[in-house]
Structure 1
């Protein structure tokens, strides 16, 4: 969900990073294109899905123009997420001097390992991240058109340095060569004793020591009073589900905004199979109705998490992900206000209503979907990662 109505004028200085919100896919796209047009030295773009559609073509042309005037342009796309692109798609950009690499090109050997991150950095000075990809379905307000999503712009030098390092390491390791991947854990994960000051940029992935996003979220949930989460796909670990239930049972509020219309029916079956225990613990659940919900937002008291990671097994255990977390009371209040506005477009799920839908066939399908998503998929990814150790 967006947290500021006018991202061009609503800015906030956090103790961790300077940031302001891009409240819709359309706003994020407009800002990226404007920054691309003004770029002087470098553009880095890492994206899971680059569509084969007019919206994505605009970005390709803008990047080519930047490269033609001498800007160093590096683009990293995922081999599965961007598999719709035809041969020769990037010729204009490459002829202008840009470089495009494909992370883990499609192969049966390491098919499960994907780069789901969304990063745009210009001139090593301004960065944008969020849940959106570069494709037509993300261009809209999330109510009347386009999927529901948001972006976050960062200008804090320390955060930018972390994002540049994260991009450059993945750009170098795009072919999943073991000797390159071994460099990533030492840089992207802080020492274990640093539980509070980990910085605003949290990188996670199957080759890293641990999932820093999950660890920081669990840490905050131990003392949380108010938790609001929007997640396109929802199948969190048992520890996260238990932590959420604990917040509600000790008198805190926990509100989940999940997908109504969805692009992944299997994920929705798995998510709905978990509703019962959460609702019985006092957690409130809504499903967003106007468009597909693609937002990834967690608001824990006055700390926000925004980025590419969903609360599901693939984001928490398989994909390479990047999340930014900021502790800022003003931004948290704005996020809560916008969360409320999105709830007006959503359907509340009660335990009695949920129970009525749980026929034996629905229970069977939900259990099978959850087994595939939370057990089989991570197991397959672990087996494929062994060959890269």
Structure 2
């Protein structure tokens, strides 16, 4: 294999981009940026775990606060389950803010802030799939999950700050307005970079619409996806692209931290194989990356191609048109293929046993019907509460 292309890129619309192909490099770059922050740090994460890497981030944030930097953390209450509430006590004493997104309540527990975002000094941002936890350290081959992300400067950072502030506003509302509050949009930061924000209850959000447009005439598609369970129109547009594209490749987990979802995903392999897709499963470690390369366009961020990301969670993605960046992303994809096994078409056309068929149907029901149905029910309940704030729809702290 040839040496990888350079990792630093610029776009004609004024963005600077750095590609991080491992969780170790990505988290290291985030820590370095925090350690040199001069005015502000905004950190938003689904998971922040009490651990050695968690302590390094906490200490860097605390030291930044000591330098007079305004530090604001937005952490998901479910994703950070088990993190002691006094974990950031020194940071708070120094004036830092720690905000818990959607504290667990029976009606609203399903809607999670799955985003991963860091903005430093209002000028530099980091976005990807990595949480702050030990499993994201490492090279994704010998140790640690396979993940990564990008650093970016330029006009899109302003939109990222606005989206962070919007999430803080949502987190602070006593009555949690799922549809009415928060940004959901395709925000163009120039000709080459767009910010795609999704939130609960939107079955054809901007991520889906952008992807559908780009796949319409796509010739070269490479998708690395941690949780792959597309349904409805998303599934159909991917199947169509697999049939029409010159090359359509899927890199999916051989080892998963959600084995039941993997069972459901494998039930889809036959349909994609029959339309010409090439499927590989990553072997050394758990695959957690979410990267789509469609011709000269790269999508990267927190969203998976599954019902939870597409219709339940709050997610954040960047869409970047850059031939050099797409080349880099494909080089990373090719490197990952060296550590993957091709999936042969025949075994996935029919389950080998009645028990496997039962497992696939159960898994698909749980992830595409039950989880989605419960979330949709509470979206409707929430809308009722907004229309009748004095009635039974009122939520309590």
Decide: shared fold, TM above 0.5: yes
CA contact (8 A) 1:67 1:73 kept: yes
Aligned to 1:164: 161
Aligned to 1:19: 17
TM-score scaled by structure 2? Answer: 0.90
Determine which of 326, 329, 348 is the counterpart of 1:332: 326
Distance in 2 (CA, whole Å) between partners of 1:89 and 1:358 is 49
CA contact (8 A) 1:172 1:180 kept: no
1:162 deviates by 0.6
CA contact (8 A) 1:12 1:18 kept: yes
Q: Once structures 1 and 2 are overlaid, which stretch shifts more, 235-244 or 40-49?
A: 235-244
Aligned to 1:132: 130
CA contact (8 A) 2:12 2:192 kept: no
Cα deviations across residues 113-133 of structure 1 (Å, max 9, x unaligned)? Answer: 000000000000000000000
Name the SS of the counterpart of 2:171 in structure 1: coil
Quick one: structure 1 residues 198 and 146, their matched pair in 2 at CA, closer, same or farther if it must change by over 3 Å? same
Distance in 1 (CA, whole Å) between partners of 2:79 and 2:379 is 19
Unaligned runs of 5+ in 1: none
Aligned to 2:292: 298
Name the SS of the counterpart of 2:115 in structure 1: coil
Cα deviations across residues 211-242 of structure 1 (Å, max 9, x unaligned)? Answer: 11111001111111111101100101232222
1:199 deviates by 5.0
Q: How many pairs does the alignment contain? A: 380
Cα deviations across residues 119-155 of structure 1 (Å, max 9, x unaligned)? Answer: 0000000000000000110011100110000111110
CA contact (8 A) 2:192 2:320 kept: no
Determine which of 80, 83, 86 is the counterpart of 2:81: 83
Aligned to 1:377: 371
Aligned to 1:310: 304
Name the SS of the counterpart of 2:221 in structure 1: strand
Within-5 A mapping of 1:126-275 = 126-156=124-154, 158-175=155-172, 177-178=174-175, 184=181, 187-190=183-186, 200-206=194-200, 210-275=204-269
Determine which of 36, 41, 44 is the counterpart of 1:38: 36
Aligned to 2:395: none
Aligned to 1:388: 382
Cα deviations across residues 144-175 of structure 1 (Å, max 9, x unaligned)? Answer: 1100001111101x200110000011012114
The RMSD of aligned alpha carbons is 2.2
1:68 corresponds to 2:66: yes
Distance in 2 (CA, whole Å) between partners of 1:177 and 1:230 is 38
Quick one: structure 1 residues 6 and 32, their matched pair in 2 at CA, closer, same or farther if it must change by over 3 Å? farther
Name the SS of the counterpart of 1:347 in structure 2: strand
Aligned to 2:111: 113
Quick one: structure 1 residues 285 and 16, their matched pair in 2 at CA, closer, same or farther if it must change by over 3 Å? farther
Aligned to 1:98: 96
Name the SS of the counterpart of 2:230 in structure 1: coil
Aligned to 2:361: 367
Name the SS of the counterpart of 1:230 in structure 2: strand
TM-score scaled by structure 1? Answer: 0.92
CA contact (8 A) 2:202 2:310 kept: no
Quick one: structure 1 residues 181 and 372, their matched pair in 2 at CA, closer, same or farther if it must change by over 3 Å? closer
1:198 deviates by 9.5
Unaligned runs of 5+ in 2: 384-397
CA contact (8 A) 2:201 2:376 kept: no
CA contact (8 A) 1:309 1:322 kept: yes
Distance in 2 (CA, whole Å) between partners of 1:4 and 1:208 is 38
